[in-house]
């Protein structure tokens, strides 16, 4: 693979991963605020929410591998796994590294949800908010900060998440108890349909 090819793959997969993460968080907030009502059914939205987070994780993986394959930047494993180890856009890279670990924590606890206490699962999934903002920082502080597409995607994503978060806080809707799935019956929520895991808690 040529350096230019790896570089474009890294940039494209990073943008796609951010969009997928944003959509997953947005759906989680819609479930918790019940803005979507009953159409489409909450159980269907939850499955889509999980599918999107699973796809986001996959694209993040490709994003990181592409950086390793890029001979121009010459990233090493430490640059992608240790915050501030990279000299290239250190703030953006550090945000991406920490966000990657939060993504893993959220995804792994989703896979192990049946073995965890509901409160533990919920507390870990609250980190999805931190994950989103780190991902946004990673995108806007990187090399494509001046790109018009990046700006439009970033502004739209941040505006959507901020608006739904404000609605969630002001409305006070949703059961605050750990493990609530935003109106989805526990059986439907635990089955997960597609088997994918959530990257943000519907109960947030």
pLDDT of residue 2: 60
Model confidence band, residue 149 (pLDDT cutoffs 50, 70, 90): confident
**Alpha-carbon Rg for the chain in angstroms:** 17
| Residue range 61-81, pLDDT digits in tens | 999 999 999 888 889 999 999
Is residue 60, in this structure, part of any structural domain at all?
yes
Is residue 197, in this structure, part of any structural domain at all?
no
| Choice among 25-29, 55-59, 81-85, 156-160 with the minimum mean pLDDT | 25-29
- What is the mean pLDDT of the segment spanning 6-16? 92
| Residue range 88-108, pLDDT digits in tens | 889 999 999 999 999 999 989
**Nearest to residue 175, comparing CAs of 41, 42, 21?**
42
What is the residue-wise DSSP string for 151-201? HHHHHHHHHHHHHHHHHHHHH--S--STT--TT--HHHHHH-TTT---SS-
Please determine, for residue 57, whether its predicted confidence score (pLDDT) is greater than 90.
Answer: yes
Model confidence band, residue 42 (pLDDT cutoffs 50, 70, 90): confident
Is residue 203, in this structure, part of any structural domain at all?
no
Q: Which domain holds residue 162?
A: 3-191
Is residue 87, in this structure, part of any structural domain at all?
yes
How many domains, the chain? Answer: 1
Is residue 200, in this structure, part of any structural domain at all?
no
Mean confidence (pLDDT) of the chain: 81
The model carries a pTM of: 0.79
pLDDT > 90: percent of the chain: 43
């Amino acid at each position: 693979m040529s350096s230019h090819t790896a570089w474009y793959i890294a940039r494209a997969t990073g943008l796609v991963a951010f969009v997928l993460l944003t959509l997953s968080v947005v759906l989680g907030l819609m479930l918790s605020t019940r803005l979507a009502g009953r159409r489409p059914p909450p159980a269907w939205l939850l499955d889509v929410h999980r599918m999107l987070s699973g796809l986001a994780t996959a694209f993040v993986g490709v994003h990181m591998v592409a950086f390793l394959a890029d001979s121009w930047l010459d990233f090493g494993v430490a640059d992608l796994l240790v915050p501030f180890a990279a000299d290239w856009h250190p703030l953006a890279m550090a945000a991406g590294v920490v966000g990657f670990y939060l993504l893993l924590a959220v995804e792994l606890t989703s896979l192990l949800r049946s073995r965890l206490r509901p409160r533990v699962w919920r507390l870990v999934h609250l980190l999805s908010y931190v994950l989103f903002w780190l991902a946004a920082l990673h995108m806007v502080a990187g090399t494509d900060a001046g790109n018009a597409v990046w700006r439009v995607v970033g502004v739209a994503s941040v505006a959507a998440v901020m608006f739904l978060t404000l609605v969630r806080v002001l409305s006070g809707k949703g059961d605050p108890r750990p493990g609530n799935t935003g109106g989805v019956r526990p059986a439907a929520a635990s089955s997960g349909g597609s088997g994918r895991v959530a990257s943000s808690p519907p109960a947030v």
